[in-house]
Structure 1
């Protein structure tokens, strides 16, 4: 068990180095479009805005926030936000962007491991915990994550998760339909990934990434097991980037070209803490 913990810690450290290196690449990319962000654009899915609803005046924690664009999108809608990420360069970039956007009073950013969020942000200090878009796959222990979320929420507070569907982890990168990996395999998967999803041509040094696959059932069970009451789980047919070559653009999102043979690309989950 001790050797396994050391191996996991080494993989997390390797992931952090990978993400640290990609912060300036991502910040300079068209994918993140910081020029558009500075002019008021954000990239929250419409279903997220509908499902989470009005956040004006609420305290919101965004776990694994990267450079904070979604965090600040909620701040622009009136929330008082705290973004947390294990990458110090990402947090520094987010804080600088918040200052440029005039959001210093509404947005703060902390560099810390997600499992330390209660100690870093405050126990039962938030009305909303928000996370998603490729966050959970970087976590080795989904049950510990759910307990961390529960520890952050005030009585009656809400978890809102908008995440890539775990089915997308096991489908072929070209056709997005052929199963090429085991959906029920929960071990760590380490792979070589030079460049960045925001700029595949970028030259990078830290290229070994490790992900942990969590099925939809794993996530729902972890949330319920942490004492949160699941309100809904909804699956969605669009995704913010071209996950598979077979997907086509549609209104700033991507979907399967043939709507008769669709598979879920994202899902959303909401849960509440007991009042």
Structure 2
């Protein structure tokens, strides 16, 4: 339900994420065993769009348990830094880094709110600032996010964002074919959900969440206002989990059946800072 932003929104969300870290570590969705065996946690389109990261520094905002962050290190990034507001998630990320033999000079993880990133991370600027899927919905102020991220991009570097398309937030969960919510709503979305995108069976205590939807125009405009140049905005007809009951796995991702008109389910963008 839409409502005014509750004063405890940050702590509410932190408790939810802290509780779900061990659930995620044990889940097939994150497949920690495959990651430990060398499998890449990144999506094919992300690797193609970001390009060669060898010898470049990378900051991952809202990194969760660090699998994406450390995958960039495996691809040759000279230094990766992950930041997340869940200390439980950051502890898990540090353990993974240690298992891979990556010391803090190659892979560092910081517990902090994303809006405090400029003061919390060890370096003042990075060649690449990366934000992975499912991050922006937890932030109430996209302008402040864009300003924070942009200030951490080194001259000549870029921000890369991969996200779920905001169109998916307004469609019905069963079929993804009917409009049920307001695309331009700015109020907080507050709900009690004992499940999530990974596990629907494990009992949990902290089930309340506070989220926001951010239309693509708002995101692009915020980044441009923060001084970045938009290099591209791509929309994708696939997603990472069965958000809608009508989705099917095809070509390694969840998509609508071939006999249905396609709609964008994810998007990605790159925004550069002039040298």
TM-score w.r.t. structure 2 length? 0.95
Residue 60 of structure 2: aligned partner:
62
Residue 165 of structure 2: aligned partner:
165
CA–CA distance in 2 between the matches of 1:19 and 1:190?
Answer: 15
3-state SS in 2 of match to 1:48 = helix
Residue 175 of structure 1: aligned partner:
175
3-state SS in 2 of match to 1:163 = strand
Q: 2:228–2:271: 8 Å Cα contact kept in structure 1?
A: yes
Alignment of 1:85-234 (within 5 A): 85-104=84-103, 105-122=105-122, 124-234=124-234
CA–CA distance in 2 between the matches of 1:55 and 1:259?
Answer: 39
Alignment of 1:74-85 (within 5 A): 74-79=72-77, 80-85=79-84
Q: 1:172–1:179: 8 Å Cα contact kept in structure 2?
A: yes
CA–CA distance in 2 between the matches of 1:187 and 1:269?
Answer: 25
RMSD across aligned C-alpha pairs, in angstroms? Answer: 1.3
Q: 2:138–2:210: 8 Å Cα contact kept in structure 1?
A: yes
Q: 1:186–1:212: 8 Å Cα contact kept in structure 2?
A: yes
Residue 49 of structure 1: aligned partner:
47
CA–CA distance in 2 between the matches of 1:90 and 1:157?
Answer: 27
Aligned-pair distance for 1:196?
A: 3.4
Aligned-pair distance for 1:174?
A: 1.1
Q: 2:150–2:228: 8 Å Cα contact kept in structure 1?
A: yes
Aligned-pair distance for 1:251?
A: 3.2
Aligned-pair distance for 1:107?
A: 1.2
Aligned-pair distance for 1:167?
A: 0.3
3-state SS in 2 of match to 1:19 = helix
TM-score w.r.t. structure 1 length? 0.95
Q: Which runs of 4+ in 1 moved over 4 A?
A: none
3-state SS in 1 of match to 2:16 = helix
Alignment of 1:235-254 (within 5 A): 235-254=235-254
State whether structure 2 residue 20 is matched by structure 1 residue 27: no
Q: 2:66–2:82: 8 Å Cα contact kept in structure 1?
A: yes
Aligned-pair distance for 1:12?
A: 1.2
CA–CA distance in 2 between the matches of 1:109 and 1:259?
Answer: 45
Structure 1 unmatched ranges of 5 or more = none
CA–CA distance in 2 between the matches of 1:161 and 1:200?
Answer: 28
Structure 2 unmatched ranges of 5 or more = none
3-state SS in 2 of match to 1:56 = coil
Q: 1:156–1:274: 8 Å Cα contact kept in structure 2?
A: yes
Aligned-pair distance for 1:43?
A: 2.9
Aligned-pair distance for 1:228?
A: 0.5
Q: How many residues align?
A: 270
CA spacing shift, 1:229–1:259, aligned 2, 3 Å: farther
**1:79-122 residue CA offsets vs partner (Å, 9 max, x unmatched):** 11000000000000010011112223421110000001011115
CA–CA distance in 1 between the matches of 2:124 and 2:236?
Answer: 30
CA–CA distance in 1 between the matches of 2:96 and 2:7?
Answer: 30
